[in-house]
Structure 1
Amino acid sequence: MIGRPARRRPRPAATANKPKPAKTRIARRAADSHTRPGAWLLNHARALFFSLGKLYRNPMASAMTVAVIGIALALPAGLYVVLTNIEQVAGSWDRGVQVTLYLKSGTSDQAMTTLAERLQTDPRIARVKTVTPAQGLSELAQSAGFGDALDALPDNPLPPVVIVYPHLQGHQAAQIRALQHDLAARPDVADAQLNLAWVERLYAIVTIAQRTVWVVGGMLALAVLLVVGNTIRLDILNRRQEIEVAKLIGATNAFIRRPFLYGGFWLGLLGGLLALVVLTLSLWLLAGPVNHLAGLYDSRYVLTGLDLGASLRLLLLSIAFGLGGSWLAVGRHLRDIEPS
């Protein structure tokens, strides 16, 4: 006897209204990163160390990219250090700028001393030196080497001299020339001479060097952006299928973009650290010859490098270039990858 087929039991209401299966792990992680602060930080930490591990798993390619970035950043940083040292030398030469006042004949030593005291109160003047006619004749005899001929002169032909050292710097040529004009207008001054031409030439050279540093630095910064962008682009193309699968299961562009951005961060950071190492070694190699040259000129000049603030700025710029290059590459190529 063939029995009747058993009836299907009706599904309970709770079972009928059972929600759909939960999202996949990647999609859930991407969604949680926008809702929970703790999950957001955890996802960023995972992406940060995942990108570092990816560089570690490709040591040769990563080392070559970091080396290119480090050398590209070390070149403008080295030019900046050279320029800073030149400016320090030029700043010490500013003290050689002076206005020589030749007083009128017959001016007494007391009048010359009174004039020097009045000039000392001028805020534009750092210090004043007086040279009496007797002192000037003695210095001339010692420097020229024919003191006997000078002793034969019936009278001392040298006038009283007041040497004024401006408190201004050598690159403030207009202010120094204005000071010279004011000093020459005094009634007891016969002539005022200024030795500023060589200082102006020096600062013109320094200005050219500054522009050169900016131009070279801008070109090499663009090179760093291109190097990082090309590296991230190749990484995106190599992981194209993985990105397509991640998008199929619900991963957002922000979630996929995150490891690539942190990859650019690590490249920029490591490249900046390498640039500091290269710059430090270069300064160490140059310190000996520079000290020897300074000793030949009876100087104690010491070659200076980047201070802490400049080093931190270099690292921040390097990180910014790495993030910028990776952002450009990811934004350009991630939109072109869609699951088919």
Structure 2
Amino acid sequence: MTTSTTAAAATTAGATSTRVDLALLGIRGTPPLHRDGGAGPSDDGHLVVSGRDAALPRNPDSPFVFDGDRVLRDGEDTGLVISAIGRPRFYDRRTADGVPYEKIARLHGRDVLATTVVQTCIRYRRDERCRFCSIEESLRAGTTVPVKQPEQLAEVARAAVDLDGVRQMVMTTGTSAGRDRGAAHLARCVRAVKAAVPELPIQVQCEPPADLAVLTELREAGADAIGIHVESLDDDARRRWMPGKSTVPLTEYRAAWDEAVRVFGRNQVSTYLLVGLGEDPDEMIAGARELADSGVYPFIVPYRPQAGTLAVDVDGAPAPDHRRVEYISREVGAHLQRLGMAGSDQRAGCAACGACSVLQSVGG
């Protein structure tokens, strides 16, 4: 290896490590595009960091500060170029019955429209709630509505594409009591959006439905990709962190993933794997490789402490060590690269965006 190649590799490794630290420690300040509470990683600011979208925690104690086009750490330039994403124009509109568009769907990164079609979850009771989730807190804060209607989503999606250049959409849902676990309403919403904006790729996200035929219904409605998120492959970690959701056995997840790959295709199915839930790193890597081999993209994301969750308010659970996040991400990214399986090749969804992870920076 030449001196210049070695230097370039060291620079790349250093930039990746800094991105990992950013993902865990966040930034000081509130970028123009940000989100408070809700499902999934939130309380974040959406920025472009060295050309890639990044959803970063907003942390007043972070050593990182952005000053418009640089990231400073303790006053020193990190070498990462940063730019803010402006407030989208579609946020200034309202539906015919007066609901602000931003309560129906939100912009994530530069070009992803995201929505939680049902903002309640049967597992949100204190003894069953996923300890990292705050899906119903945004309802309490008045920043969203309980159920998004298909026609509302179609109207907002059309405006987001026309006004702000949105290029993909993500629809997730709280879990319902029905056998479809919320997928039937997702299918109605997808069908309406596709009728209004046929060119817009859509990823749907739900728990494994008890009736796997619903996966075909979602595909036929127009969904292009699907996320069936398990968060951990370790049953002990699942019981600790997701007492309600862990009652769905891993065998049901594997059956749903296999059927989803059959219906949607290889690398159009993904699942979140959260670093920081206590799982052994090498076991997590082995499980992620197995998923990738079966056609499921393992989206490696660090657990984020977030106010309003039981993990923070009750447990005081810290973010994972940055070395663990980088090690797991690099090992899984290398395997994905060997398989020729890139998140950016997904038609839509979290892995296609990549803002909550560093996988795309390390080959995934």
Higher RCO (Cα < 8 Å, 6 or more apart): 1
Please report the TM-score for the alignment, with normalisation by the length of structure 2: 0.18
- Higher relative strand content: 2
Higher Cα Rg: structure 1 or 2?
1
Q: Give 1 or 2: higher helix fraction.
A: 1
